[in-house]
A and B are shown apart, each in its own frame.
Chain A
Amino acid sequence: MELCHAHQFRQATNAVAGPPELAFVDAVNNGVRRVPAWPIYFLGAGHIIWLVWLAATGGLGVEPISALEQVLGETGLKMLIVGLMITPLRQFAGINLIRVRRAIGLTAFLYITAHLTVWLVLDLQSFGRIWEDILKRPFITIGMVGFTLMIPLAVTSNNWFVRRLGPMWRRLHKLVYLIALLGSVHFVMLRKGLQIEPLMFLAVVLILLAARIRLRKRPGRVAPGQGRA
């Protein structure tokens, strides 16, 4: 269903876009169709193991705990952003990456889980301090809410749940908008002062969310009945 609708829409876009873009979009779509999604999981997991190894052997500098925590959290947020780009890419450029979206979302979850684990086990070191930190420090509260909301999405990401939940699945997975927002706000808040980098992440997330609001207000651009995730 999903693929079929996207294809219809791509053709509509192509009529406006013209041949050079058409060739590019087709090449990308054909390429993506041939590549399986599963290597993404292995690349993500391998990257995390590599980062831990670097941290343990001095490759992440003299303060490896914070460095590891940061790179895992930031990569998780980047993966969430890539996941949020898939629908606008399809609707504005006709590039269809929907096949890899589940793998990207789950890999984001993997990074965030690793980020949380490093914080708990290596950084905080005391389970007694966890509740105090979660309740008393708003940026941690926000991060924890974001992570908690990811759990049901990860659990229901398989085909069985997609079929079982039907239209509910789509509604449930819109939680990712809130998750990405919480993640980027968490990033802005944890830095000292108003720093450029986390604000850029927040801006990108806001733009990607805004893209969806605009789509909704112009139903004419989208074929009737077409899914908007």
Chain B
Amino acid sequence: MAHRWNNDLTAADVTPYKTFLNRRQIMAGMAGVGLGTIAGPLMAAEEELKPNTWEEITSYNNYYEFGTGKEDPAEYAHKLTIDPWSIKIDGMVDNPGDYSFGDIMAKMTVEERIYRFRCVEAWSMVIPWNGFELADLLELAGVQSGAKYVGFETLVRPSEMHGQKYPVLDWPYVEGLRLDEAMHPLTIMATGIYGKDIPKQNGAPMRLVVPWKYGFKSIKSIVRITLTDKEPPTSWNKANAREYGFYSNVNPTVSHPRWSQASERKIGGGLFAKRVPTLNFNGYEEDVAGLYDGMDLAEFF
């Protein structure tokens, strides 16, 4: 039960915003007297997994159900009703049915996971999620032996999600994982950020987080989970199969047809933020590369 994967960062590493600013000022000051070149690389490594601020995490979102602009979700997501909320778990499970959000939460162990978050658009954040391992929820439902994949589905409610009135994507938003990816201890269902309930623009009340894959795999506001033996359809793959594959693992060596994935811009660096190299599997190579042994990741992108 939970704690199969250990954070190398804890709540104590969540830098208070003021301290964070002070550090930046100190670094800027050092650069001024010529120390930046010596201290820079060392401090850069230390600074690498400093979580983004609450404001950054909750004001810059891709959630096309609320509009295609980055600020749209923060502006319009408040219209969404998330109580009551239930998730239908069906397909190849022993205990299919509608699971209410409250019932699920009563049975799960919530922990903090500070993960890198890499968007396919080549920007990134570090987010202190609160959530539980998806494996625990699947265990509750009882995965049958023939199941090989997990499909996920987001709520469809155009009256509250006005972006669904436009055919930008084929609604509902759907995503999928291979069963071993879904059962991996890094894969969580997030229900909070910074110890608070997850905001609606970030996918309340419950969303998937798969930190080694591009952000669009981490489907929001989930209403249905289906265990199957066939690879489930995924929204961006349906929209443009040439650009978005089923796996969508973060991979600096496989370019998006329209831009390079070799580097990324970390949100919060301001107008002169430097690009930083993107890490293979978003920095989780050691934990997950084994899932893809023998696969050509340029083919299965």
Interface residues of A (CB under 8 A from B): 52, 55-56, 58, 61-68, 122, 125-126, 129, 132-133, 136-139, 189-197
Contact = CB atoms under 8 A, between A and B. Distances in A.
B59 interface: yes
Contact of B271 (A122, A125, A195): A122
A192 B265 CA distance: 18
A125 B56 contact: no
Nearest to A195: B68
A125 B275 contact: yes
Interface residues of B, number: 32
A189 B256 CA distance: 13
B167 A190 contact: no
Given A137-B257, A139-B258, A192-B121, A64 B55 contact: no
Nearest to B268: A62
Given A125-B275, A133-B260, 14 more contacts: A61-B71, A62-B55, A62-B267, A63-B265, A65-B265, A129-B260, A136-B255, A192-B120, A192-B236, A193-B169, A194-B168, A196-B68, A196-B166, A197-B68
B163 to A, nearest CB: 10
11 contacts: A62-B55, A63-B265, A63-B267, A129-B260, A137-B258, A137-B259, A138-B258, A191-B68, A193-B168, A193-B169, A193-B239
A194 B167 contact: yes
A56 B270 CA distance: 7
B99 interface: no
Given A63-B123, A65-B271, A193 B64 contact: yes
Interface of B: 55-56, 59-60, 64, 68, 70-71, 120-121, 123, 166-169, 236, 239-240, 255, 257-260, 265, 267-268, 270-275
Determine chain B's interface SS by DSSP, over half rule. loop
A48 B98 CA distance: 54
Determine chain A's interface SS by DSSP, over half rule. helix
Contacts of B265: 63, 65
Contacts of A192: 68, 120-121, 236
A62 B60 contact: yes
Contacts of A196: 68, 166, 168
Contacts of B260: 129, 132-133
Contacts of B60: 61-63
Nearest to A136: B255
A129 B70 CA distance: 26
Nearest to A53: B271
Contacts of B123: 63, 66
B229 to A, nearest CB: 29
A64 B71 CA distance: 12
Contacts of B168: 193-196
A160 B121 CA distance: 46
